[in-house]
Amino acid sequence: MKTFFTAIALTLLMSIAFAEQHDHKKSPVNEKTGHSKSSLVLNHGEKWPVDQVMRENMSAIHQKFKLISELSKSNKISNKEARDLSTVISESAKNIVSKCKMEAKQDAAFHAILSDLFAVAAELQKGDKVESPLEKLRLTLKSYTEYFDQSFSN
């Protein structure tokens, strides 16, 4: 139990630290997705470019999401698998942040996605019900592909 609370606390602290590190202004938030209404914008009508680090890490999140979603549909998901997805999300997001080379507007757009990823990871770490965080992750990945130049094979 102590490990569980430590993991949640670390995840929340990391998300706060990453948010403060980039010092973005607060914007109104969409309650359903958690996205800031003003920060998810296209690059002059085009999707934002994606570098190799972002592509690989977002693909890792998507691959694990697909696996866990299938297990969830057949009610075969364990708390360990939910926590494993949480770990993949957290580690991948941290890796993207640590190697970030985005310009300010692209960075702000990605932070809307990043915020949702950390929130989903924290929910999955609890291991209770996975349906809600899986749906939030599905919407986050969908938003990501709408605003960033990467698609995922299903």
pLDDT tens digits, 45-65: 999 999 999 999 999 999 999
CB atoms within 10 A of CB 12: 15
pLDDT at 75: 79
The tally of CA atoms less than 13 A away on the side-chain side of residue 93 is 29
| Burial environment of residue 144 by CB neighbours within 10 A (0 to 12, 13 to 18, 19 or more) | buried
Q: How far is CA 3 from CA 62, 70, 126, in A?
A: 26, 28, 11
**Residue 27 pLDDT exceeds 70:** no
Which of 28-37, 71-80, 119-128 shows the highest mean pLDDT? 119-128
The confidence band for 24, taking pLDDT boundaries of 50, 70 and 90, is very low
User: Which residues have C-beta within 8 Å of that of residue 14, sequence separation ≥ 6?
Assistant: 90, 94, 118
Q: How many CB atoms lie within 10 A of CB 29?
A: 15
How confident is the model at residue 39, as a pLDDT?
Answer: 76
| pLDDT 10s digits, 114-146 | 999 999 999 999 877 888 999 999 999 999 999
